[in-house]
Amino acid sequence: MKAAVIVYPGSNCDRDIAVALEKVTGRKPLMVWHGESDFEAVDVIALPGGFSYGDYLRSGAIAARSPVTAEVVKRAAAGVPTIGVCNGFQVLTETGLLPGALMRNANLKFVCKDVHLKVENAATIFSNAFDKDQVIRLPVAHHDGNYFADPATIEALEAEGRVVFRYVNADGSSGNGANPNGSRNDIAGIVNQQGNVLGMMPHPERLIEQALGGADGRALFESLAQAIDKTAG
């Protein structure tokens, strides 16, 4: 599996996600600078977390208009698996590849802590190595992670099984502060209708081996590798 990591000015998780991809695939990903208008063919595109362009205007707004992002949009629309984590999720909504928007956290404070997620859909290319309803632990670190969409969009996401991850408590229940940012329906990660674009606020790349304090995020990258290997085979 050959991957590309898009690097914007202000990205701070590009190395993290590159390391995660290499650990799982055994292959160093291509690091693509935001000013590039094209890059070689890859199997996966990753938009990392961070604070692209210092979050000026609003999170992800300028990055969505970077030269390289036009190529990302083109390839994602053509079916190339694309993942956006944290700021990457914000960029994906700004481009229209995913619906909705990431707003200021409900408490108007930066949130940096571990959260628990329920795997709502384990049949996507990003989640097939998880079990449905499995509860995992991942870190979050954001100020603008409050997922919002109009009621019709939320209803469609739920009905079509496009909510992949949802904030829960450690026992899988909702409420009692499980939602760190106020996201509608406790949504932590969604896919597009085609199923090849995933956006999520928690950071799977930060927990891929026990040396980092846990490995709950590793299955996401294993899911991608397995899905792509199956397609190639």
Positions marked active-site: 86, 203, 205
Q: Residue 49: count other Cβ atoms within 10 Å of its Cβ.
A: 27
Which amino acid makes up residue 136?
I
Which amino acid makes up residue 24?
V
Q: Are strands 44-47 and 111-119 parallel, antiparallel or unpaired?
A: unpaired
Start-to-end CA span in the chain (Å): 12
**In sequence order, what E strands does 26-85 have?**
30-33, 44-47, 82-85
| Alpha carbon distances (Å) from 3 to 55, 117, 197, 198 | 25, 25, 14, 15
The two three-digit tokens of residue 69, written as one number: 């992002």
CA–CA separation, 129 vs 122, rounded Å?
A: 7
| Alpha carbon distances (Å) from 162 to 54, 97, 194 | 30, 13, 10
Burial class (CB in 10 A: 0-12, 13-18, 19+), 100: buried
The two three-digit tokens of residue 172, written as one number: 């899988």
- Under a CB-based contact definition with an 8 Å cutoff, are residues 178 and 186 in contact? yes
CA–CA separation, 207 vs 212, rounded Å?
A: 6
